[in-house]
Amino acid sequence: MKVGIYPGSFDPITLGHLDIITRSSKVVDKLIIGVLYNSAKNALFSTEERVGMIKQVTSHIPNVEVDSFSGLLVDYAKMKNANIIVRGLRAITDFEYELQIAQANHKANPEVDTIFFTTNVEYSYVSSSIAKEFARYGSDVSQIVSPIVIEKLNEKFNHSEK
């Protein structure tokens, strides 16, 4: 059985992430979305909130499981019997960092390989940071996040709607 892990902060999940999830779930038997618990970044949403939103927006994809983890990704992959790591590439700027991480992970556990999905052009500018920045000032984010995420962003920023 091919088990893949798509790790990330997902603070919050965007349509760009969802596109990668939809496409990568077709090439593995099971896709585990691993929400990084102890992110160095200051997260807007708690791990539980991030996991909850991902579960809701991926509920229609049967082979997707949502989980959280802390520590080293390769250790987590081993624990989950996963040998594929899925990452998304938006631009060449993502590549340098991702290449280094993929090589380090492969070195740490040669059983684990990283596969990259290139972004759908319509989501190439989409990021969790942009979604948060736009939502903070009440700007329309319906092109970049799912309705359930819009609701949660509005709750965080105390906007009644949009």
Residue 68 annotated as lining a ligand binding site: no
Decide if 33 contacts 21 (C-beta within 8 A): yes
Binding site for ligand ADP (CB under 6 A): 8-10, 14, 16-17, 20, 87-88, 90, 94, 119, 123, 126-128
Active site residues: 17, 41, 90, 128
Decide if 150 contacts 135 (C-beta within 8 A): yes
Residue 23 annotated as lining a ligand binding site: no
Q: Which is nearer to ligand ADP, 116 or 157 (CB)?
A: 116
Residue corresponding to tokens 């596109």: 19
CB of 4 to ligand ADP, least distance (A): 13
Decide if 35 contacts 54 (C-beta within 8 A): yes
Q: Which is nearer to ligand ADP, 121 or 160 (CB)?
A: 121
* Cis ω for the linkage preceding 62 (within 30 of 0): no
| Residues contributing to the annotated binding site for substrate | 9, 41, 73, 87
